[in-house]
A = this chain, B = another copy of it.
Amino acid sequence: MKLYDLEASGNCYKVRLFASLANIELERVPVDFLSGAHKQPPLSELNPLGQLPILEDGKQVVRDSQAILVYLAGVYGGLAWWPAHPQGQAEIVQWLSFAANEVQHSVCAARLVQKFGYDLDKSQALEKAVVTLSLLDKHLEHNDWLAMGRPTIADCAVYPYVVLAPEGDVDLEPYSHVARWMRRLEALPGYLQKP
């Protein structure tokens, strides 16, 4: 099973982190991002959105980090990470959307500007980061994990760009419940360090 991968990408780190926690073996295929290999064939045929990561499992191709988490957990990871009942799935999908929208356009965007020179509005991203991290902190004040009272793919979808947030000049200091949640996740067997 191949993961088309970029070391510095938080979206790719979501998948590598989960695979490591769930003991799923992936063959990492580093993509030459700087030369734009992800926007050219053959990768642009696997993912027309021109984004990484991409998972290739035999004939099955999955793009989008959230969808890859669902795939890996559902096929190889066991019900602890992605349950079979729709109530639990919906609880998790709330956080997958939060990862794809709120996290992406706040802490992730700020890092893209600061570390990689992307042409995005950094001050707007930093404003959104305060809102996003405050919401997360409030949720984690009364919950050890994002969903279902245990580690799930929801945590693997949200953690990477949060732990990488200081690279976008985001101060995590005010968010003590977020900090404790990160320490809990980092103590899980199989935890994989951030890139």
Contact = CB atoms under 8 A, between A and B. Distances in A.
A87 interface: yes
Main secondary structure of the interface of A (DSSP, over half): helix
Interface of A: 48-49, 60, 62-68, 70-71, 73-75, 82, 84-87, 89-91, 93-94, 96-98, 100-102, 104-105, 121, 135, 138-139
28 contacts: A49-B98, A49-B102, A60-B87, A62-B90, A63-B94, A64-B93, A64-B94, A65-B97, A66-B93, A66-B96, A66-B97, A67-B90, A68-B90, A70-B93, A71-B86, A71-B89, A71-B90, A74-B85, A74-B87, A74-B89, A74-B90, A89-B89, A93-B96, A96-B97, A96-B100, A97-B97, A100-B100, A101-B105
